[in-house]
Chains A and B, each alone.
Chain A
Amino acid sequence: TQLLEQSPQFLSIQEGENLTVYCNSSSVFSSLQWYRQEPGEGPVLLVTVVTGGEVKKLKRLTFQFGDARKDSSLHITAAQPGDTGLYLCAPRLNYQLIWGAGTKLIIKP
């Protein structure tokens, strides 16, 4: 049974378009982190959400934690080629981080 699911697995869109990626589970988490990983590098933290229903914005990126703290979404407005990368969600369960397989995002100029 997969604990954590990220969707879509892969997304390729044109510059300027909007997109949303999802992180879903049947478990309740105490918090959740989003990381971005670029080719040949390690993941880098984007944001941490803690409270159910919490919304955080980072420039054109909007992160939301589900009301029940079981899921999260990342919305990107007017995507740019610099947004290309692997987006990983990592919720905290029992004091450990659980890692999703990620959404590979490609923004074409």
Chain B
Amino acid sequence: DAGVTQSPTHLIKTRGQQVTLRCSPKSGHDTVSWYQQALGQGPQFIFQYYEEEERQRGNFPDRFSGHQFPNYSSELNVNALLLGDSALYLCASSLGASKGDEQFFGPGTRLTVL
């Protein structure tokens, strides 16, 4: 099991563009959470998907949206990119969307907005 995988590894976009990041959860996991980690900061929760629905959302604008597919993989979409969206985007998977279940993190996608 490769664990949580994310693609692409790195991405460079310009302001105003749109981006899609992808995540495959650890085998057997059905819940995916997305986090944004700015340089020198801890990860910040964006949202969580379970049973193809957004279960919980952090303090992020509507430009950030997501999707979960029947195979539990997930996408994070960001529209109208701003310079401040430059960050490492982490995906984490867990089982059952229950509080306290261990979340397993992927390696992240490094997004640079120019």
Report whether chain A binds chain B: no
Q: Which residues of B contact A (CB under 8 A)?
A: none
Q: Which residues of A contact B (CB under 8 A)?
A: none
